[in-house]
Amino acid sequence: MASDLEFHRGVVLASGNSVLCSLLDGLSGPTARARIWRGLTQQDAVGRTLYEHRAILAALRDRDAETARSWASAHIASVEQWLRSTL
């Protein structure tokens, strides 16, 4: 959980977008339980999350905005799909 927050915070801080930083801070607390529950109940959720995070980070390091955006969209979509099916 701490690593997940650190990853997201690092990406947001690097963006320099103060609104995005505030949004992340506002969402981190209320979604903590759901993220922990997903990690415990969804098969390979942690492995998939790490894979997606690494792909996003690699694209950012390569300065490939389109690939980073695509991976971020896929990452968000998978979490959203899990939330919709679980909650």
Map tokens 């694209």 to a residue: 59
pTM, two decimals, is 0.84
Range of the domain at 34: 2-86
pLDDT for the residue numbered 60: 96
Domain count, the chain: 1
Mean pLDDT by 10 residues, the chain (87 residues): 89 91 87 87 91 97 96 93 86
pLDDT for the residue numbered 32: 84
Task: Name the CA radius of gyration of the chain, rounded.
Answer: 13
Map tokens 């998939």 to a residue: 48
Map tokens 């894979």 to a residue: 51
